[in-house]
Amino acid sequence: LSALQLETAEVFEPLLKDARYKGAWGGRGSAKSHFFAGLALEDAIALGEDIVCIREIQRTLDQSVKKLLEQKIQDYNVGYYFDVQDRRIITRPAIGGQGVITFEGMQNHTADSIKSLEGYGRAWVEEAQTLSQRSLDLLRPTIRKAASQLWFSWNPRYATDPVDVLLRGEEPPPDSTVVRANFQDNPWFPDVLQQEMEYDRRRDPEKFAHVWLGEYERHSEARVFKNWVVEEFTRPNGTIHRLGADWGFSIDPSVMVRCSIDGKRLYVDYEAWQLGCEIVHLPDLFMSIPEAEKWPSVADSARPETISHMNRHGFPKMTAAIKGPKSLDEGVAFLQSFDIVVHPRCRHVIDELTLYKYKTDPVTNKVLPVLEDKNNHCIDALRYACEGARRAGKPMPKILKYDNSGIH
Ligand SMILES: Nc1ncnc2c1ncn2[C@@H]1O[C@H](COP(=O)(O)OP(=O)(O)OP(=O)(O)O)[C@@H](O)[C@H]1O
Ligand SMILES: [Mg+2]
């Protein structure tokens, strides 16, 4: 009988039964690592199995599950059975004799050196989504002891990854048990992760499905903007501010953004954003951006009467964007050519930079050269703001400032 009283989340119970292949895949924080760590200790103590913990790449032991095993040894209070050494853990099984737990990176192995693993009864591959086909092909016939087992825990990326093809493909190997585990299945799901999870669930459903539900990564290639970071900053005196506005009402927001160009960088430092804003209240909304009314601004040309109202109510320098057949694509390409730095106060700009996508072919899933017409209100405002700079032609001077020598 086992010396260990393992508390197992229900989702992993099928994996407690013997099987040559055991797999657990799913989103972050679903207790996959903790489950296999506990099972490893149990099999080491009760069965005296030698266990090799494997990753595709392991440059140092810090990248291994050694720390996790040490923590579980403490948690379960089974230090008596283990001698934790520098590079490995020696085991003293309850059934007598001596065993070992070792930690290996597959990329450090050749077809010859892998043979050193032939005597192991268990191989646990952590982060198995990164396992290469070569490594998988080397490993499977190496673990050959009678009743030996191969374990895989992973967060899926693509259906074409070797471990997914093997264990989730059309024909999984005989004697394999595979479970899907997500955070809902983890009775110990910690508060910090709960908050991280909820943040992604609100902001980015697609990312949420991939990161937290273990869905394959989809459409990340469809994101229009990958060239941006969120960072606190203040723009120096003398900065030329560029303002752009987009009109909406009930479904779409009315938006104004402020940005400035500095060489290859585009700084976005203020946004004004409101749903259902009456025209008479637009000047106040936009004046929440410092000195917005003093600078030239460029607005969506679809509402000349709104621009006229703004001109008469505090925004005399607001003009209409020039609509050309290619202004959308060229404007987006212009924004893509910068390293964009967004101030954290610009929440809606951040949302849209995250969510703005190209369309994808519903049949082939391939990304199309057509922009989706949603999550683009701040983006449109940014395009308008930069329209003058774009039409003036490149390259942008290193520091784009006005000459303030004549201003007193
Ligand atoms: N048996 C357990 N006892 C106590 N806490 C646990 C246990 N299993 C999981 N947890 C808690 O749940 C968290 C997530 O577990 P774990 O790291 O095993 O998940 P995972 O699925 O491997 O996540 P990731 O995909 O991020 O690697 C742990 O950090 C720990 O706080
Ligand atoms: Mg893990």
Which atom of ligand 1 is found nearest the CA of 181?
Answer: 21
Which one-letter DSSP state was computed for residue 54? E
208 CA from centroid of ligand 1 (Å): 18
Contacts for 235 with CB less than 8 Å, ≥ 6 apart: 241, 260, 267, 269
Measured CA to CA, the distance from residue 88 to residue 72 in angstroms comes to: 15
Contacts for 405 with CB less than 8 Å, ≥ 6 apart: none
* Centroid of chain to Cα 360: 20
Q: What is the pLDDT of residue 320?
A: 98
Which atom of ligand 1 is found nearest the CA of 27?
Answer: 25
pLDDT tens readout for residues 146-203: 999 999 999 999 888 899 999 999 999 999 999 999 999 999 999 999 999 998 888 7
Asked whether 32 lines ligand 1 (CB < 6 A), one says yes
Asked whether 155 lines ligand 1 (CB < 6 A), one says yes
**Nearest to 384, CA basis, from 261, 210, 246, 217:** 246
Q: Whose CA is nearest to atom 9 of ligand 1?
A: 31
Whether the pLDDT of residue 394 is over 90: the answer is no
pLDDT tens readout for residues 294-330: 999 999 999 999 999 999 999 999 999 998 888 999 9
Average pLDDT score, the chain: 93
Q: What is the pLDDT of residue 159?
A: 86
Contacts for 295 with CB less than 8 Å, ≥ 6 apart: 241, 242, 243, 258, 317
Torsional sign, CA 7, 11, 16, 20: negative
pTM: 0.64
pLDDT tens readout for residues 339-390: 999 998 998 998 899 889 999 888 887 889 999 999 999 999 999 999 999 9
Asked whether 51 lines ligand 1 (CB < 6 A), one says no
Q: Which residues of 291-328 are buried (b: 16+ CB within 10 A; e: fewer)?
A: ebbebebbbbeebeebbebbeeeebeebbbbeeeeebb
Measured CA to CA, the distance from residue 376 to residue 353 in angstroms comes to: 8
Average pLDDT over residues 202-211: 84
In the structure, ligand 2 is a single-atom ion and the residues with CB under 5 Å from it are: 33
Question: Are the CB atoms for 123 and 150 separated by under 8 Å?
Answer: yes
Asked whether 34 lines ligand 1 (CB < 6 A), one says yes
Whether the pLDDT of residue 408 is over 50: the answer is no
Question: Are the CB atoms for 315 and 220 separated by under 8 Å?
Answer: no
Asked whether 129 lines ligand 1 (CB < 6 A), one says no
Which ligand neighbours the alpha carbon of 24 most closely? Answer: 1
167 CA from centroid of ligand 2 (Å): 18
Measured CA to CA, the distance from residue 86 to residue 23 in angstroms comes to: 29
Q: What is the pLDDT of residue 7?
A: 87
Q: What is the pLDDT of residue 242?
A: 98
Whether the pLDDT of residue 399 is over 60: the answer is no
**Best residue for ligand 1 mutational test, from 16, 74, 186 (most atoms within 8 Å of Cβ):** 186
Half-sphere exposure of 123 (CA within 13 A, CB side): 28
Percent of the chain with pLDDT strictly greater than 90:
82
Which ligand neighbours the alpha carbon of 38 most closely? Answer: 1
The secondary structure of 19-37 as a DSSP string is -SEEEEE-STTSSHHHHHH
Of residues 131 and 401, more confidently modeled: 131
Q: What is the pLDDT of residue 402?
A: 59
Q: What is the pLDDT of residue 400?
A: 47
379 CA from centroid of ligand 2 (Å): 37
Q: What is the pLDDT of residue 384?
A: 98
Cis amide leading into 395 (omega within 30): yes
Which atom of ligand 1 is found nearest the CA of 34?
Answer: 18
Question: Are the CB atoms for 137 and 106 separated by under 8 Å?
Answer: no
Q: Whose CA is nearest to atom 26 of ligand 1?
A: 28
202 CA from centroid of ligand 2 (Å): 23
pLDDT tens readout for residues 7-64: 899 999 999 999 999 999 999 999 999 999 999 999 999 999 999 999 999 999 998 9
Three-state SS at 261: strand
Q: What is the pLDDT of residue 296?
A: 98
Average pLDDT over residues 243-257: 96
Return the minimum-mean-pLDDT range out of 71-80, 85-94, 188-197, 213-222: 213-222
Judging by DSSP bridges, how do beta strands 149-154 and 21-25 pair with one another?
Answer: parallel
